[in-house]
């Protein structure tokens, strides 16, 4: 498999993971709107677990990448995983809700994982994190 193809497979994987993470977040928000704090937190935890497992779950699509891409990709995913792991340890609903967002995040702005995906797509094989 060539570098372009392996990069495309990785981006497809990350896009799919981002979709699952957003679905978990949307489900959490629906529980919050119903006033169900426990359901809200449960789905925030599910979202955090998806983030936390990214580096491990992505292993099969990272391994075929060119050597000079592996480290920056792993570092990028690990940043999300580390924050998620901290959120899970703290158990703070606020911390879990803010995992994907900057402090000054606007309502209609993309989350940080969407920004990363955009950066990766633009940089292509030149991505260095």
Closest residue by Cα to residue 25 from 101, 89, 102: 101
Chain mean pLDDT for the chain: 95
DSSP category for residue 105: -
Q: Is 95 exposed, middle or buried (0-12, 13-18, 19+ CB in 10 A)?
A: middle
Sign of CA dihedral 65, 46, 107, 19: positive
The tens digit of pLDDT for each residue in 62-96 reads: 999 999 999 999 999 999 999 999 999 999 999 99
Q: Are 59 and 68 in contact (CB under 8 A)?
A: no
pLDDT at 36: 97
């Amino acid at each position: 498999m060539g570098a372009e193809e392996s990069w495309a497979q990785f981006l497809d994987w990350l896009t799919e993971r981002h979709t699952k993470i957003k679905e978990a977040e949307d489900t959490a928000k629906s529980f919050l709107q119903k006033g169900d704090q426990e359901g809200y937190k449960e789905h925030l935890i599910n979202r955090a677990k998806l983030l936390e497992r990214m580096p491990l779950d992505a292993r099969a699509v990272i391994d075929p990448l060119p050597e000079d891409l592996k480290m920056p990709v792993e570092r990028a995913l690990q940043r999300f995983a580390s924050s998620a792991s901290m959120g899970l340890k703290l158990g703070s609903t606020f911390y879990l809700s803010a995992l994907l967002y900057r402090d000054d995040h606007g309502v209609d702005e993309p989350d940080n994982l969407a920004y990363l995906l955009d950066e990766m797509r633009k940089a292509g094989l030149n991505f260095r994190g």
